[in-house]
Structure 1
Amino acid sequence: MSFRDLFADTRPLQVPAYRRLWTANIATTIGAQLTVVAVPAQIYTLTGSSAYVGLTGLFGLVPLIIFGLYGGSIADSLDKRLVLVGSTLGMILTAVMFWALTWSGNTNVWWLLWTFSLQQAFFAVNQPTRTAVNRAILPLDQLPAGASLNMMLMQAGAIVGPLVAGALIPFIGFSWLYFLDALLLLPTLGAVLALPALAPKEVGQKAGVHSVVDGLRYLWGQPILLVAMLLDLIAMVFGMPRALYPEIAADRFGETEPGIMLALLYSSMAVGAVLGGVLSGWVSRVVRQGLAVMVCIVVWGAAVVVAGLGVMLSPGTVTIFAWLVVLMLVVGGAADMFSASLRTAILQQSAAEHVQGRIQGVYIVVVVGGPRLADVLHGWAAGPFGVGMATLIGGVLVVVGTAVCALVVPSFSRYTRPGPDTVDSTAPTN
């Protein structure tokens, strides 16, 4: 493998439809992060209550679950291009609603929460459809590279967006931050409008509960798909200690007020994911993709174990152990990026095209729900075990859970990427 092969595989960017979507999403991802920061910050400004801020989790999770599943059904029964157009317009509308509420001087926090819930419903329809579209516009052998490029962009936005929001709020306030989000969605709307027609593969398929159930029944009969999602849950539920970051920064690193160490803890995984994306050239060349996923998750679990040790050994001030924790979370973020890219590719390759939307809908529920379950689990475990031991035990459970999956479903570790003869040469390129 040459030095050039270490870097991200950019072949998907040679496909015009993918390139337009990816390039437009640079602006849209940053815009979305503006709202991610603005909503809880504005709610806290209005109420002075973290309990009200916490309601954003409930108001966001419920529509994501409901419309993640139902949105996948919609994506499989209608032209995916039309679904993307409608859901993108919906996200623009909700951003404008946030702007209008704030600009008009609204102080009712419930209006903000319901608008946020509506926005998440549109997002829950948009995201699985967007992921399913990759199967239609990219050759199968480029799906891992496409997933890596998408993840790298999302994680970069998670770093840049909050920094931009924090810098702009004192100067332009919340209302114009929402307006910027609406404007930054326009490039994606243009890219979606330029897509070719993406009609459903199964004629007569109708969206609804029956369609969702059919998708779940299909998923239940596909052990490769089930294990791919289960591994994501194992990695996130046991190995995501973000709920402990404030206590780690305060008690183990000695920050009397939230400061640089807390910021580094929160951003470390995203930094690792971006670095991993830059160095993801090998991902598209992996043949034994199932085994590679398991190895990456074990690396992630091991990094969390070492981070837990670093927390336990930290004397209550910023020492080499604090930097070890941050470094391990960066390593874990890169491993998680590799794993997620490969898992996404496996889901896109292995699931039949007529159920892609529903499979991606279930997957977004897993991706969103896992970290929220982790917050509850780690928050509870920190009481009896302490933050360091809770982190360490979580990492151990990631490694053990992955090993159990390998033993119970050995077919997953033997899973290989489709050969050149299975590449879908009919995928549109414009």
Structure 2
Amino acid sequence: MPRPTGRLRALLPDLSPWHSSRDFRRMWLAGLVTVFGTFLTFVAVPLQLKELTGSALAVGAIGAVELVPLIVFGLYGGALADAVDRRKLILWTEVGLGVLSALLLLNTLLPEPLVWPLYVVAALTSALAGLQRPAMQAIVPRVVAHDQLPAAIALNSVRWQVGAVAGPSLAGLLIAFAGLEWAYALDVASYVLSGALLLGLAPSPAPREAEKPSLRGILEGGRYAWSRKELLGTYAIDMVAMLFAFPTAIFPFLADDLDAPWALGLMYAAGAVGSLVVSLTSGWASRVHRHGRMVVCAAAGWGAAMAVAGWMHNVWLVLLFLAVAGGCDMVSGLFRSAIWDQTIPDELRGRLAGIEMLSYSVGPQLGQVRAGGMASLTNVRASVWAGGVACLASVGLLAAALPKLMSYDARTDEHAVRMRGRKAAEAVAEAA
């Protein structure tokens, strides 16, 4: 087999984290299995609510019930990740998420499935995800070399997108031909397998001087984030992009509006297809240094693509622009994560990861409520295109208001330079 040419190799993802870190490989594989199962449920829950209630508002309300647990436990989970063994925290929350998925399966197997368990499980799942995600993000800089962090971010994105493409696509087929219970059953099985993989991770204890989780510690992380306006910019940009242009809750209704119910799974997968294309050609990302500008431009592209998708009447064009939006979101995510992981000190990593998680999770939850509410007041198509236009305008205003984000340069930023020096010193000490 011929080897890739120099130009092609420059585009392909950098596999150095995979080769150099056993723990990264285990986490990558466990995450692939989990995200595959999670996306099965991601499609199944709103579709089941649509079948049980017939209400776009009821489907959008899933985002509302998930919001408060995500905020509370996301912030606490960030403080916890700085105070306990991150491996144990990841493992036990994975077990809890598997149990909740099993409860969805049991409810679906009832002769008459109930509506309220869907909301209760959604809220509890949001709480456990809030506890887990900061630890998952905070552990990566411990198991991957500093200069390999952008590559690790890209590889984790590939993992997420493979599941995001395969999960919804399979969910659509499973639900159509076998029933909702099979989607939930496969999600349960995915948690069993991912838990087995995570058991093999090396311990990741907190430093001896780490304080117990407290409100004071959470506020300390908040003060640090507030002092870094470029960090605030990444949070704000992603928040408004998801708030105004995240219409996934109403995809079942959009599919009906387009007379294409068969395309529901493809709608959920389209964004991930675009993201996957970007991730698989992400070799260029390591040569970009002005990360803030890329975040802004990509978020604007996300809003513009969503607006066009809302205007389209052909289902294939809708899918195309959903894929374009997903690609833009992936570019934004790559450079947001690079700023976070390369500039934040390890002793604050968990708490800042909790804040970061809120920035990229609360927005989608509110976005579901916005999309469902606006669709019920106007119509599905207007909810999609108007959200995209609002996103585009909001991103432009934030870019003008946040000059530090626009001027961020990974080569010269004082925080990035300091973290590179610290990592180099740690590597020398370990070698000695």
Tell me the residue number matched to 2:10.
5
Tell me the residue number matched to 1:366.
359
Q: 1:19 pairs with 18, 25, 41, which one? A: 25
Q: Give the root-mean-square deviation of aligned CA atoms.
A: 3.4
Task: Give the structure-1-normalised TM-score.
Answer: 0.83
Letter in 2 for 1:238: F
Consecutive unaligned residues of structure 2, counting only runs of 5 or more, are: 1-5, 411-415
Greater Cα shift, 405-414 or 266-275: 405-414
Greater Cα shift, 265-274 or 201-210: 201-210
Q: Distance in 1 between matches of 2:44 and 2:309?
A: 31
Contact (CA 8 Å) 1:5, 1:282: kept in 2 or not?
yes
Give how far 1:158 is off: 2.1
Give how far 1:230 is off: 0.7
- 1:47-58 equivalences under 5 Å are 53-58=59-64
Letter in 2 for 1:156: V
Q: Distance in 2 between matches of 1:125 and 1:230?
A: 22
Consecutive unaligned residues of structure 1, counting only runs of 5 or more, are: none
Matched, 1:405 2:398: yes
Q: Distance in 1 between matches of 2:69 and 2:107?
A: 21
Task: Give the structure-2-normalised TM-score.
Answer: 0.82
Letter in 2 for 1:422: G
Matched, 1:212 2:218: yes
Contact (CA 8 Å) 1:34, 1:162: kept in 2 or not?
yes
Contact (CA 8 Å) 1:140, 1:423: kept in 2 or not?
no
- Any idea what the Cα deviations from partners look like across 1:16-54, whole Å, max 9, x if unmatched? 111111122222211222333444455566667766655
Tell me the residue number matched to 2:323.
330
Secondary structure of the structure 2 residue equivalent to 1:282? helix
Secondary structure of the structure 1 residue equivalent to 2:294? helix
Contact (CA 8 Å) 1:25, 1:187: kept in 2 or not?
no
Give how far 1:401 is off: 3.3
Q: 1:288 pairs with 269, 287, 290, which one? A: 290
Q: Distance in 1 between matches of 2:92 and 2:325?
A: 36
Letter in 2 for 1:301: G
Letter in 1 for 2:335: L
Letter in 2 for 1:424: K
Q: Distance in 2 between matches of 1:399 and 1:362?
A: 24
Q: Distance in 2 between matches of 1:415 and 1:228?
A: 11
Contact (CA 8 Å) 1:288, 1:416: kept in 2 or not?
yes
Tell me the residue number matched to 1:71.
77
Q: Distance in 1 between matches of 2:108 and 2:371?
A: 35
Percentage identity across aligned positions? 34
- 1:254-265 equivalences under 5 Å are 255=259, 258-260=261-263, 263-265=265-267
Tell me the residue number matched to 2:244.
238
Letter in 2 for 1:258: P
Q: Distance in 2 between matches of 1:335 and 1:235?
A: 11
- Any idea what the Cα deviations from partners look like across 1:40-70, whole Å, max 9, x if unmatched? 4555666677666555433333322221111
* Matched length: 415
Matched, 1:148 2:154: yes
- Any idea what the Cα deviations from partners look like across 1:157-204, whole Å, max 9, x if unmatched? 122113333444577655564443233223332333222222224724
Secondary structure of the structure 1 residue equivalent to 2:68? helix
Matched, 1:354 2:347: yes
Structure 1 residues 36 and 302, CA, compared in 2 at 3 Å: closer, same or farther? Answer: closer
Give how far 1:75 is off: 0.8
Structure 1 residues 3 and 409, CA, compared in 2 at 3 Å: closer, same or farther? Answer: same
Structure 1 residues 142 and 263, CA, compared in 2 at 3 Å: closer, same or farther? Answer: same
Q: 2:335 pairs with 323, 342, 357, which one? A: 342
Tell me the residue number matched to 1:422.
421
Give how far 1:353 is off: 1.4
Q: 2:131 pairs with 100, 125, 141, which one? A: 125
Contact (CA 8 Å) 1:142, 1:284: kept in 2 or not?
no
Letter in 2 for 1:187: L
Give how far 1:325 is off: 4.0
Q: 1:276 pairs with 275, 278, 289, which one? A: 278
Matched, 1:203 2:202: no
Tell me the residue number matched to 2:3.
none
Q: Distance in 2 between matches of 1:402 and 1:161?
A: 30
Tell me the residue number matched to 2:164.
158
Q: 2:37 pairs with 31, 34, 37, which one? A: 31
Tell me the residue number matched to 1:185.
191
